[in-house]
């Protein structure tokens, strides 16, 4: 059994590297495909499939900042890294930007262990109270985000339009609605704007790791901020890593490097704790956690122990894999035509959407792209487009 679990973990790390590097190939799609074809794996232990999903998901959180920073092709968890990451990329420090997110994801692992015990002890009680006022918490967080904007009226408009689009996507016969919705809002829109602005990428400098560091105070403050906000976002529906990063940034020094470290910590914590949340309250807040629930039914303490071990081992492996691809990517990004790469990424995203979604999804994709472009050009933070997930969640919890 141990050999099967080890093989599943290694394959999961490879799969997570693939999903992280290629825009539009999300771990939720792989997990859903695995569930749909689970009968084909009748000879494989269920726990091996679980370890595969966990390893893939954790590795993805380490790797997915690479295309976000280098190509401007983020997903819903990494889109906030694009702006500070691109600033450093324009300074020839793209490698440093990616390494800082990897440092953050690595720091998340010990924090995850601590909060696993806290969640097991207190989350069932806390959630029973919180779920009564969940809609109002989501409303408060949303208003807080909106009124932090310089132009809060435009931010409110973006939030509402994204929310309505999200509601339509989930209520129309759209196949894999999250794919076209998020591809348009956070993928196509940013890439199209970058093509229009004719972005030029300078030659990148690859510094030695010992030269890429944050001071101890920044590491402590960023880790504390992540530990404060990420656990909340791991069990609140509709609130993801992006919102946790914005909330956490209130507690840390406002500079690019600190923020990239912070989002790295948060991204991995939110994913890791989603598995613990599925164990403690039976609610999966990520596609991967839901997939594990489908495979195991009720998650036992023994299964959770294996999941935590898989998180730690795959996280350590993903750190070194991320370092390798960060160096490789930044070595060649300045030598190629960025506009040509952007067109290639657009084609990949379009093909993925056409294959995995349907014509309703294409309509959602075009509409979401238009809204994303409007958001960028109007100067509104793209976090407001997460209204596509939050507003439907608010409507759901107000009606139950």
Give the Cα separation of 221 and 216 in Å (integer): 9
Would you tell me how many other CB atoms lie within 10 Å of the CB of residue 400? 7
User: Percentage of the chain surpassing pLDDT 90?
Assistant: 28
Query: Residue 75 pLDDT more than 80?
Result: no
Angle at the Cα of 254 from the Cα atoms of 253 and 260, rounded to 5 degrees: 95
What does the pLDDT read at residue 302? 93
Measure CA 261 to chain center.
14
Cβ 48 vs Cβ 4: under 8 Å: yes
What does the pLDDT read at residue 78? 47
What does the pLDDT read at residue 32? 65
Please state the rounded mean pLDDT for residues 57-82: 71
More confident residue, 80 or 244: 244
Give the Cα separation of 95 and 330 in Å (integer): 6
Residue at token pair 């959407």: 353
Cβ 399 vs Cβ 209: under 8 Å: no
Helical residues (DSSP H) of the chain, grouped into ranges: 2-21, 27-36, 46-63, 65-71, 82-90, 94-130, 134-147, 152-171, 178-182, 189-196, 216-233, 241-248, 256-281, 287-296, 301-333, 338-356, 359-377, 387-399
Please, is 43 exposed, middle or buried when counting C-beta atoms within 10 Å of its C-beta (0-12, 13-18, 19+)?
Answer: exposed
* Lowest pLDDT segment from 187-196, 269-278, 285-294, 333-342: 333-342
pLDDT digit string (tens) for 296-349? 888 899 999 999 999 999 999 999 999 999 988 887 776 767 677 778 878 877
Give the Cα separation of 93 and 79 in Å (integer): 18
Cβ 63 vs Cβ 17: under 8 Å: yes
pLDDT digit string (tens) for 108-131? 999 999 999 999 998 888 877 777
Residue at token pair 């890294």: 81
Residue at token pair 């093989």: 7
Give the Cα separation of 236 and 33 in Å (integer): 25
More confident residue, 161 or 199: 161
Query: Residue 81 pLDDT more than 60?
Result: no
Please, is 193 exposed, middle or buried when counting C-beta atoms within 10 Å of its C-beta (0-12, 13-18, 19+)?
Answer: middle
Give the Cα separation of 98 and 334 in Å (integer): 15
Give the Cα separation of 184 and 190 in Å (integer): 9
Average pLDDT, the chain: 82
Q: How many angstroms separate the Cα of 306 from the Cα of each of 11, 50, 247, 285, 314?
A: 16, 9, 31, 19, 12
Give CA torsion, residues 80, 81, 84, 88, to 10 deg.
Answer: -160
Nearest CA among 347, 326, 383, 369 for reference residue 21: 326
Give the Cα separation of 370 and 180 in Å (integer): 12
Token pair recorded at residue 106:
């690595």
Predicted model pTM: 0.78
Residue at token pair 């269920």: 46
Token pair recorded at residue 305:
């122990």
Q: How many angstroms separate the Cα of 192 from the Cα of each of 189, 331, 381?
A: 5, 24, 17
pLDDT band, residue 175 (cuts 50/70/90) = confident
Nearest CA among 258, 185, 174 for reference residue 216: 258
pLDDT digit string (tens) for 219-239? 888 888 888 888 877 777 666
């Amino acid at each position: 059994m141990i050999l099967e679990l080890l093989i599943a973990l290694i394959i999961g790390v490879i799969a997570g590297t693939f999903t992280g590097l290629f825009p539009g190939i999300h771990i939720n799609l792989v997990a859903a495909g695995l569930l749909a074809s689970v009968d084909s794996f009748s000879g494989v232990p269920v726990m091996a499939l679980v370890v595969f999903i966990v390893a893939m998901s954790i590795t993805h959180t380490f790797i997915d900042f690479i295309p976000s920073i280098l190509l401007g092709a983020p997903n819903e968890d990494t889109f906030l890294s694009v702006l500070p990451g691109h600033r450093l990329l324009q300074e020839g420090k793209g490698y440093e930007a990616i390494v800082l997110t990897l440092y953050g994801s690595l720091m998340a692992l010990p924090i995850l262990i601590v909060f696993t015990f806290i969640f097991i002890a207190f989350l069932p009680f806390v959630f029973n109270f919180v779920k009564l006022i969940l809609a109002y918490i989501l409303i408060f967080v949303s208003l807080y985000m909106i009124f932090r904007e310089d132009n809060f009226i435009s931010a409110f408009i973006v939030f509402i339009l994204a929310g309505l689009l999200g509601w339509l996507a989930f209520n129309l016969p759209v196949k894999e609605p999250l794919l076209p919705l998020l591809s348009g809002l956070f993928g196509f829109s940013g890439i199209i704007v970058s093509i229009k602005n004719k972005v030029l990428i300078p030659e990148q400098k690859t510094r030695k790791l010992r030269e890429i560091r944050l001071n101890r105070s920044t590491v402590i403050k960023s880790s504390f901020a992540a530990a404060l906000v990420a656990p909340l976002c791991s069990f609140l529906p509709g609130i993801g890593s992006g919102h946790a990063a914005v909330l956490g940034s209130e507690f840390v020094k406002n500079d690019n490097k600190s923020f990239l470290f912070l989002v790295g910590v948060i991204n991995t914590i939110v994913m890791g704790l989603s598995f613990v949340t599925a164990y403690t309250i039976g609610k999966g807040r990520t596609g991967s956690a839901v997939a594990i629930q489908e495979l195991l039914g009720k998650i036992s303490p023994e299964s959770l122990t294996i999941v935590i071990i898989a998180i730690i081992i795959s996280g350590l492996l993903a750190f070194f894999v991320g370092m390798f691809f960060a160096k490789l990517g930044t070595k060649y990004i300045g030598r190629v035509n960025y506009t040509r790469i952007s067109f290639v990424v657009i084609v990949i995203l379009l093909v993925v959407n056409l294959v995995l979604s349907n014509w309703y999804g294409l309509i959602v994709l075009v509409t979401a792209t238009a809204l994303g472009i409007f958001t960028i050009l109007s100067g509104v933070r793209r976090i407001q487009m997460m209204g596509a997930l939050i507003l439907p969640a608010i409507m759901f919890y107000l009606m139950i």
